[in-house]
Structure 1
Amino acid sequence: MGNRILILEDELLVALDLEYLMEDHIAGAQPVLAASVAQARQALAQGVDVAILDVDVMDGKSFPLAYELRRLGIPFVFVSAAYIADIPADLREVPFLRKPVQVQQLVDFVAAALANGQPGVTAPPALPSPPWSEAERLAALRSYDILDTEREGFFDELTEIAALICKAPIAVVNLIEDTRQFFKAEIGLGVRETPVDVSICAHAILQRELFVVPDTTLDPRFASNPLVTGEPRLRFYAGALLETPEGLPIGTVCVLDYQPRPDGLSREQALTLLGLARAVMAKLESRKIAASLRRREEELARLQEIAGIGGTEVDLRTGFTNDRSPQYLKIHGLPPSARRETHEDWVARLHPEDRERVETLFRDAVRSGARSYLAEYRIIRPSDGQIRWISARAEIEHDGQGVPIRLVAAHQDITERKRAEEAVHESERRLRAVLDTMPQIVWTTRPDGHHDYFNRRWFEFTGRTSEQSEGAGWNPVLHPEDRQKAWDAWSKALATGDPYEVEYRFRSRDGAYRWFIGRAVALRDADGKVERWFGTCTDVHELKLAEKRLNSNEERLRLALEAGKVGTWVWLLREGIAHADEQTAAMYGIDAEIAGNGAPFGLLLPAVHPEDRPKLKAMMTQAAAHGGEHEVEHRVMTGQGEVRWIVSRGRCELDAQGRPSRFPGASVDITDLKRVEEARELISRELSHRIQNLFSLVNGLISLSARARPEAADFATDLKLRLETLARANDYVRPQMQGARQQQTLHGLIRLLLTPYASDSGERLALSGEDVEIGSGSATALALVLHEQATNAVKYGALSIEGGRLELATRIDGDWLVLVWRERDGPPVAGAPSRQGFGTVLAARSMAGQLGGAMTHDWRSGGLQLTLRAPVERLRH
């Protein structure tokens, strides 16, 4: 039998060229052509010896097949117009040949693979052995006595939170036993257990903390799992480890999805899942401790019941005959002669308010066959008339027929404790009443930082329960951007004992965030050791908003970070000085320290190009006279003699008397339009990819033609070498190109390309109408058109000034898509330009040539209206 060589290639000419190549150079070669992964799998079932894989084929990527080949130990090579960066990281050790491929390289690979197996490929590294044994892990799991227990609200609510936060259809609390996985709680499965041999969680417990599988079909560990290949066809998994304090994994809190998630979980989702896992372990530990305490209490019950300061023995067979110890007599204020007092004497000593209750309790205990007796009550001591609190603990003994015969009790004077408890209760009641009426959030923690108290304001604001808030339950309420800052400050305070203060945002029960200032101080004992932390969270949201309204520096900084090189400044008109940041100082060539402390406005003018100084001065003069918003575009000269373009924008604010007093603004370096270049880079990458495929196609055509005409073989060889040279040249000029994700709909492409031009306000760009699917070819032409129009809008149209808006509306008109581009509230339009630029000409030709459509311009005075028409069918290609 010959060597079966699988060739996965959906370009027919390229596939035939590879087939002829194998037949000519590999002895006994039996090429098997497949145009899709499905066809390749059919060939694989019949057996193959080596495989040549294109990355992109008609039914998707070839990576799932590559994982199957590697699992089966069948050597293979990627031969593709893609880039190595497009290959998953765990497949990049596989040999990779760029199209148009060097013939000898491919022949050498196949020959070596057939002779020796896959060259240069190593199996994925094995997971390290865990530091625990399976017996230890199972013992730890069973110690919680949780397996096969009924559903509980806590765990059900926890899975609901996991599913909600992670937006997943399936969420479970999963415990991994030796042969099965038991679901303490589940959403979306409908079963309580499954065999462990199909469990993804069985792999998760070998990881640390969070285990995420973005696409199970691309992971060799799960690509063949029946729950992945068959129902319910799980494609995404994320599990947070349930780990005992001793470091033994017992299960996970996990979410699953039927769709892959290439980006995995967000930071907030990941932290929430980890927090829920910690909550589960905290709950399990709490149950375990509670069970241990119950057992301990049972062991100590007898000692606790008969321990005390004064003892007494009552003979129940002779009508409650008492025998009091000396210490008992002392506690009750009785003389030694009262050792044998009667039952009636004891009843008479009881406080009138407690007498009936206590005597009834005593008699009922004796008559009911109770084994023990416990009561707290007041007495009036005969010796001094004092009212004292007594704690009475007793054991009642019975004979063989269950008749009570003797009661042995211990009495303790608990008056001081009662007074202290009453004082504490009263103090706590008053304190809680005060704290619950405070507008601030008040909280306390143990010395280790474990939160154990929040006042009413916390629960009203967050909507969380006491159980959800205890310990680190406050963390999910924090804004994700503030968590690390808050944790760093809190960790420092816990380590040093220093006062704690930090600003952060809390999420309210309706989902909105508000700013708070958190402060805490430590309560120390006589030795200086921290006993507790007392803290408050003060709502400063309105103050923050007020500061934002009075000072736009924060907003300008945000715009600067988004838009690129931006400097911010505030011109104080009455003082005649400007406070500027380092970026502004660098733009205008002045000392950053002087600019930060306030520099005369005149210091900025020398850097302004002489031809632009008059219009900059005019703008500032107008702003100082009338207020309002102003903008000017001008040039600056750098210290190296370079000319750079700057756009300066500002809003002059008025004082209480309506006089201009303060002019905050920003200066933007618009020389380097990175975002435009990035858009072009995306288009260029698509063109480059298509050029590479074109080279492969042409090479295949040349090879077929040469076989039909042997006399042209030399010419064909020379032509192929030239084409290969052009292909390598194309790669050379694009060395750092990375893979870009192709847009699928017209609206998606519009948002991707145009949102950056209107990112300073959600109201500057409006997109409405019917959406359509688009292909990679039409995306190129559309990108050229949209990019050209957006660039013109930023330079000359509605997006060139603040307040300008861009409206795009799409509709289906029969077999045609109509896109209307309207610019509003921009500079007045004088009419059609005198000449068309290269970009406009290129856009028009792209619409006509690639899309079979047309574009028309309507130069209205209120703003350009552009109409694009293209066949819907052409857009899908």
Structure 2
Amino acid sequence: MMPAGFEPGQTRDRPANWDEQARLAALEDYAILDTPPERAFDEVVRLAAQICDAPIAVVNLVAGNRQFFKAEIGLGVRQTPLDVSICVHAILRRGLFVVPDTTRDPRFVGNPLVTGSPNLRFYAGALLETEEGLPLGTLCVLDHVPRPEGLTAQQGFALQVLARQVMSQLELRRALKARDEDAARLAESERQFRILADTMPQMVWATQPDGFHDYYNRRWYEFTGVPAGSTDGEGWNGVFHPEDQERAWARWRHSLATGEPYEIEYRLRRADGVYRWTLGRALPVRDQQGRIIRWFGTCTDIEEQKQTEERLRISEERLRLALSAAQMVGTWVWDVPANRITADPGYARLFSVTPEAVAEGLPIETMLPSIHPEDLPATEAAIASALAGEQEGVFEAEYRVVLRDGGIRWVAARGRCEHDAAGQPTRFPGVVVDVTERKLAEEGKELLARELSHRIKNIFTVVGGMVSVSAMGATAEVRNFAGVLRRRLNALAAAHEYVRPHSPESRPVEIETTLHGLIGKLLAPYEAGAERVRLLGDDAPIGVKAATSLALILHELATNAAKYGALTSSEGCVTIAGERHDTNFVLTWQERGGPPVEGPPTRRGFGTVLAERGAITQLGGSILHDWAPEGLTLRLDVPLERLVH
């Protein structure tokens, strides 16, 4: 005995093993709710009504808060609330859901559609179910009178078949919707691609899998000037330089045959007829099976790059020839992390290694033994300073190298060590130049300077001796005058040491290290410290090179003052004032009480020219003269940093 409301083959209400949100999402995905009537669904309900001999038939879709009738016959409405829905119960079970008499079923006895119009007494529904088992609604038939016997087996089977046909229509509708959406997305993607391609500075092109060109962007037509479509297919090769056409064709055919990326440089004819070097590249686009479905490529104008490469090649060739001609010039690059020095033949000759070995790369330790032992510590210190990044990694050194045959050559080395973001040394390039001839010339010049200095000192000594001899037996007044004269001669001899160039070996040990000290030493022959020569203002430290240049200037000024200016008169005086500014030091020389000045001299002596050149080139400063009638005023403006050199 089957429970009331059941027929053979039916199942009891089952708990829902699906998520309601997933069911509603699936229903939404079919995009069927609230759509107008369609013939395919209308014919199903008419056929269901005829087969089941029922006045009412409905394709019912259960939404979140209502049931929507995609097709109906006998009801006259398109939707009703869920609280009066019989289908809400039908979707909880598989197969057919049959209610022979709704007035005898406690679930529907109070339903307004049962107790009032349209007075539903019989219900039979076949489930509309997705492949995933999600119920969307039912295909149901209804009657105004009870049917204790329910449906016949044939009617029940037909209703379920028709329900599956409804689902087929829904699946077809979803497939067509997806197809249309894909076509909309494809069209939008193509539109965006064309916008992007037309705004690119490169020429962009695309081909079919067999290489047939069917797309070029705007830049292609702007560059080539050819009519639109004229380079489709194989017409593109005609705008290549005749010498490049066969090569480009061969490379393109190879890529089509192998699927390898296409890359080649060729000359492309511009709209004005000028051929410009162009880089052509293309990559294949493959489907999931790995088959090529499209080729996309670009053409990039590289004419400027090719010209730069050619200029660089010519420059490198000139450098190679210059280095080959200059037998005693060498270049090196030190890979610091790998400790490998690679260099040219000129470097190899200087360091007594084979060109082949140094071309492959050698550790720096193999080069250091060639440096003269007396020069090695200072050279290693300069290398260490550059490696540490001091003075921005600049390396400068002069040292002797001992050749394989025992000969000695002087070299000047210059380079700069590069560092990574962490401050670690990476690459250390540089150049060495044989400066032996220069060193020999400097040694000769130094020897000559020493000889001249020695002779000048001898002159001072001889004159001083003659003064002393002449004063013997003379009056006290004469002897006092002779003493003053000897002291001035000795002061001139001491000042002389400052006004000649010095090598490190000949530099005076007692050289003054401040400006006031230097001025006092230089002006001692002119009674420095007395009222005739006054030293005022700021002092400043000075280096050896700056001392030589300053000595030349001050010695020339003092000599001219003694010959023509303020120191020619017993009433005359010289005031020297120093003034320190932020980055500069200003030294003012002022003469007063001498003969009237008639203006700038008509000619300048060698000493004056030499002194001014030293101020400008050696000290990096400037000199201003004021030839006022009451006396000369000179202003020397020098950077402070140059004074300490």
TM-score (norm 1): 0.23
Give the structure with higher Rg (CA): 2
TM-score (norm 2): 0.31
